[in-house]
């Protein structure tokens, strides 16, 4: 029989979750499709000392080339890093690719996934955004080493794929048949598990703390993105009025950036006008090739913020039809045509945005209003 250390027992003996009902229309928007246990695996990828993030890998073609290998000692070898896994393997690397679902209720806007470590094992848990609701345990590892660790899901938990109108999407659920209310009633002594204080012991969530409420009956307001007039200098109304005394021979341009205050009657040289590269027509981000690795880590490449520092994009894959048809569908959701462009042969991009929070609001809007499964990336 499988034995779980004290950290698991402490979580499993707890309950008291407050259920917030989801409107029927919202709950019925997405369905789920079961995934065979041998077809997918949950892995913890090492980031540092006792720090991990969560990967989900699925083999789409059973019996063909393997996407991972279970070493049998609690660790996993991700074989898909050694070949082009397009059409063979699917993977999800962050909250854009997986979320929590209980009793058919979407909990992705209320809970995030974290990894907790203690003694000789790691624990995968769902942590509430509000900081007051209890933590829900999902699975454990057999050991704690700096390697790819296999997560054994706890009883009653399984992996499933999100569907929209019966069609599978590229999003995974950590799913339980039991509702949140039933879970709360069956665990009346549940207490909240305080997060670990060591910065390296838990991952920082990528999703902002302020997100649209799932129970909100009103449409999510579409944020306004100004792409042609970036705000590069303080407003004249807020700029302190400070006299500048240039030298007699100095000539000041009418539209110059900020000048340093002239403390002495010395010539004032205007700061050079910055060269602005318009964000209206972004181009695809260049392919990053790490110089220290012979085989590029696709997980790292897809999440490397150093690829571009210009802006954030919401990338929507073309799963059916043509890119032009997907662009028209996005426009029907209220997105200006000037903010949509093709990014590669089978992807459409929305943006750019100055911060990740704004991009994730658009991503949520596309998902909830149109069933479009996008991801947020840095881009140009």
Mean pLDDT within 349-354: 84
Distance between CA atoms of residues 179 and 101, nearest Å: 9
- The answer on 162 and 13 residing in a single domain is yes
Predicted confidence (pLDDT) at residue 197 exceeds the cutoff of 60 = no
In a domain, 33, yes or no: yes
Residue-level pLDDT at 269: 57
Per residue in 210-241, pLDDT (tens digit) is 334 434 444 444 344 443 443 434 444 444 44
Predicted confidence (pLDDT) at residue 171 exceeds the cutoff of 60 = yes
Q: Which residue has the higher pLDDT, 240 or 278?
A: 240
Region of poorest pLDDT, from 135-144, 223-232, 317-326, 332-341: 223-232
For the chain, percent of residues with pLDDT exceeding 90: 31
Region of poorest pLDDT, from 109-113, 164-168, 190-194, 250-254: 250-254
CA distances from residue 54 to 139, 215, 364 in whole angstroms, order as listed: 12, 28, 21
pTM, 2 dp: 0.46
Domain boundary among 180, 201, 222: 201
CB 272 within 8 A of CB 256: no
Domain boundary among 184, 201, 218: 201
150-154, 184-188, 365-369, 370-374: range with highest mean pLDDT: 150-154
**Mean pLDDT for the chain overall:** 71
In a domain, 299, yes or no: no
In a domain, 276, yes or no: no
Predicted confidence (pLDDT) at residue 23 exceeds the cutoff of 60 = no
Residue-level pLDDT at 3: 44
CATH code, domain with 340: 3.30.70
Q: Which residue has the higher pLDDT, 87 or 253?
A: 87
Residue-level pLDDT at 250: 43
Domain boundary among 143, 167, 201: 201
- The answer on 68 and 186 residing in a single domain is yes
Per residue in 60-69, pLDDT (tens digit) is 877 778 999 9
Mean pLDDT within 202-211: 39
CB 335 within 8 A of CB 352: no
- The answer on 133 and 21 residing in a single domain is yes
Mean pLDDT within 288-311: 37
In a domain, 372, yes or no: yes
In a domain, 155, yes or no: yes
- The answer on 179 and 327 residing in a single domain is no
Q: Which residue has the higher pLDDT, 123 or 24?
A: 123
- Residue 349 is part of which domain span? 304-379
Per residue in 104-151, pLDDT (tens digit) is 999 999 999 999 998 899 999 999 898 777 788 999 999 999 999 999
Mean pLDDT within 71-92: 92
Q: Which residue has the higher pLDDT, 214 or 320?
A: 320
- Looking at the structure of the chain, the number of domains it has is 2
In a domain, 260, yes or no: no
């Amino acid at each position: 029989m499988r034995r779980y250390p004290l950290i698991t027992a402490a979580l499993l003996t707890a309950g008291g979750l407050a259920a917030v009902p989801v409107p029927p229309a919202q709950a019925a928007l997405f369905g789920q499709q079961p995934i065979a246990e041998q077809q997918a695996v949950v892995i913890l990828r090492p980031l540092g000392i006792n720090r991990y993030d969560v990967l989900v890998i699925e083999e789409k073609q059973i019996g063909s080339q393997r996407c991972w290998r279970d070493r049998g000692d609690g660790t996993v070898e991700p074989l898909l890093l050694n070949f082009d896994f397009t059409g063979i393997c699917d993977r999800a690397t962050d909250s854009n690719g997986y979320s929590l679902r209980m009793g058919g209720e979407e909990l992705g806007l209320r809970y995030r996934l974290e990894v907790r470590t203690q003694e000789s094992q790691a624990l995968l848990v769902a942590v509430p955004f509000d900081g007051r609701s209890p933590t829900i345990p999902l699975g454990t590892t057999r050991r704690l080493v700096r390697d790819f660790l296999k997560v054994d899901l706890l009883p009653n938990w399984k992996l499933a794929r999100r569907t929209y109108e019966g069609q599978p999407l590229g999003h995974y659920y950590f799913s339980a048949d039991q509702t949140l209310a039933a879970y709360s009633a069956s665990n009346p002594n549940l207490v909240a598990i305080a997060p670990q204080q060591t910065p390296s012991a838990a991952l920082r969530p990528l999703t902002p703390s302020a997100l649209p409420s799932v129970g909100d009956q009103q449409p999510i307001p579409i944020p306004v993105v100004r792409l042609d007039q970036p705000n590069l200098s303080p407003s004249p109304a807020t700029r302190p009025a400070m006299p500048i005394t240039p030298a007699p021979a100095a000539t000041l341009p009418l539209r110059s950036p900020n000048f340093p205050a002239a403390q002495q009657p010395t010539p004032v040289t205007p700061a050079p006008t910055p060269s602005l590269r318009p964000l209206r027509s972004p181009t695809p981000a260049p392919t990053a090739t790490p110089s220290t690795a012979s085989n590029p880590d696709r997980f790292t490449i897809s999440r490397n913020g150093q690829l571009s520092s210009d802006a954030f994009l919401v990338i929507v894959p073309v799963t059916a039809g043509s890119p032009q048809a997907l662009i028209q569908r996005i426009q029907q959701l209220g997105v200006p045509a000037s903010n949509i462009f093709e990014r590669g042969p089978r992807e459409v991009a929305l943006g750019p945005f100055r911060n990740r929070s704004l991009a994730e609001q658009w991503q949520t809007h596309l998902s909830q209003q149109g069933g479009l499964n996008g991801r947020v990336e840095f881009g140009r």
